[in-house]
Structure 1
Amino acid sequence: MSLYERTQHFRSYASHVVPGLFQTPAYASALLGVIGRFHDAPDDIAEAVRARMARARVLYEGRRRFAFLVEESVLRYQIGDAETMAGQLGHLLSVMSLPTVSLGIIPFGARERSMWTLEGFNIFDERRVHVELLTAQVTVTAPSEVSLYLKAFSELAELPVYGAEARGLITSAIDSLR
């Protein structure tokens, strides 16, 4: 059983790109293509996209809870062409309606920020954190460090808009692509 399948409470913060569990195949292909070219990595994009899409099935299975916090900039950074980005943003509108998913968008104008924009991270229950860096994914398991990411997530969770306001930000980003 994979880490994603074992995790009952998944939390994710994204400051630059759409979280992997929410990515469409076209968006993931465009993103992984850029990353692969930057790192001079072998061209295994198709295989990596298939794995990412297979992992996303956890959104629809079981009784897991998912809490995502996404900076508004994620909606505005264009990955791929306008059609790819519009499809990705449309997919966000779809997955945010799942009963096990909470998606908060931190608007550009969020006031009284107690937390600065951080690197993207995923929290698996309260035991493990994956942090995405330029050169690697760092796995954090030391309880004192995991607790700092839980604290950061908690403070960031004070900033987003949800529901209709979040959908409005996503729709605005789609409209800007035209």
Structure 2
Amino acid sequence: MSVPAEDAKRAFGARLRGLRKAKGLSGLELAGLTGIPNWKISRIEGGKQGVKSGELAAWCRACGADEQYEDLVIVQSQVHDMWVEWKRELRKGQKLLHENEDALYRQTKLLIVYESKCVPGILQTHGYVFGLFKTAEALYGLPEREARAAADARLPKQSLVTAASAKNGYHFVIEPWVLELVFGDVNVMLEQLTFLSAVTLLPNVSLGIIPPGATRAVPPGEPFYMFDGSMVRSPMWSAGFKTSRPEEIDTFKRAFNLLRGMAVYGAEARELIEQARQKLQTSANL
């Protein structure tokens, strides 16, 4: 499966290549007109290197496309903003990161989430968050205190889901193996499964679980979080992808509709959670 941000970089480069070819210019000719080295033109057109604003203006001028400059600046900015490097973000500290996120979650009327790697963030118990971020400490070389800070900072957002006065809506779809991935320890995971089961009874929450062995309408993919159908975030190993581009949003909407069509809800979802609980208890001899 391709990465949307990489696709966007290549598409932006292809658009610039199209301007050059429409004008009938070779790479060397464009280099002579703009002062951009030919090797760099090749990398820009291949989506492997960015282009500075002055270079972009010169490119448009040389190709007789000055009218496209402002639009290209906007598109380039969107492409650049698609990537959030986790190591850089995590260095800001968990307290600040979660404070910055709080406003977004509070103003979101409908949060749509597909998760294939772990329990959705806003549904994670304190112990689960702590266990999950202990793995992040090892992966990203974070200070030991960050796991505790993450757990303490993330938990208050959960009231947006569980409070009796909760007004925001939530629709989650998770893959079946999410119920079996243990973060923290067995007791932490049992507590997490209990909470998930309770969440299925909340009036403002739809929690779907794709059953093991379900015929796939779409393959498993990277997790994504959609905020009011206007912005998507997708966490990956080294960075996070985000977009507000309508054509990208439409792809995620189609994917979610296919994913939720495979999922079960209500009593059937609770049965899958109970099966995961029993399997975990058996393996741990509890």
Alignment TM-score > 0.5, same fold: yes
Output the amino acid matched with 2:119.
V
Unmatched runs of 5 consecutive residues or more in structure 1: none
1:53 and 2:129 equivalent?
A: no
Output the amino acid matched with 2:149.
E
User: Deviations 1:81-116 (Å, cap 9, x if unpaired)?
Assistant: 1101101001101112111000000011112x1211
Whole-angstrom CA distance in 1 between matches of 2:156 and 2:257: 29
Q: Which runs of 4+ in 1 moved over 4 A?
A: none
* Alignment match, 2:203: 99
Aligned with residue 218 of structure 2, among 98, 105, 115:
115
* Alignment match, 1:84: 188
Whole-angstrom CA distance in 1 between matches of 2:170 and 2:141: 33
TM-score under structure 1 length normalisation: 0.95
Q: Check the 8 A contact 2:166/2:204 in 1, yes or no.
A: no
Point out the more displaced range, 157-166 or 36-45: 36-45
Give the deviation of 1:126 after TM superposition: 1.1
Q: Check the 8 A contact 2:111/2:227 in 1, yes or no.
A: yes
Whole-angstrom CA distance in 1 between matches of 2:198 and 2:207: 11
Higher helix content, 1 or 2: 2
* Alignment match, 1:22: 123
TM-score under structure 2 length normalisation: 0.60
Give the deviation of 1:40 after TM superposition: 0.7
Output the amino acid matched with 1:19.
P
Instruction: Kindly name which structure, 1 or 2, has the bigger radius of gyration based on alpha carbons.
Output: 2
Output the amino acid matched with 2:148.
A
Whole-angstrom CA distance in 1 between matches of 2:219 and 2:240: 20
Whole-angstrom CA distance in 2 between matches of 1:10 and 1:94: 19
Give the deviation of 1:135 after TM superposition: 0.9
The alignment yields a C-alpha RMSD, in angstroms, of 1.2
Q: How many percent identity over aligned positions? A: 34
Unmatched runs of 5 consecutive residues or more in structure 2: 1-101, 282-286
* Alignment match, 1:137: 240
Output the amino acid matched with 2:242.
T
Whole-angstrom CA distance in 2 between matches of 1:82 and 1:177: 7
Give the deviation of 1:62 after TM superposition: 3.6
Q: Relative contact order (alpha carbons < 8 A, sep ≥ 6): 1 or 2 greater?
A: 1
SS at match of 1:122: strand
SS at match of 2:138: helix
Aligned with residue 113 of structure 2, among 8, 12, 18:
12
Whole-angstrom CA distance in 2 between matches of 1:126 and 1:23: 23
SS at match of 1:148: helix
Whole-angstrom CA distance in 2 between matches of 1:63 and 1:78: 31
1:168 and 2:271 equivalent?
A: yes
* Alignment match, 2:257: 154
Give the deviation of 1:121 after TM superposition: 0.7
Output the amino acid matched with 2:142.
A
Give the deviation of 1:143 after TM superposition: 1.2
How many aligned residue pairs are there? 177
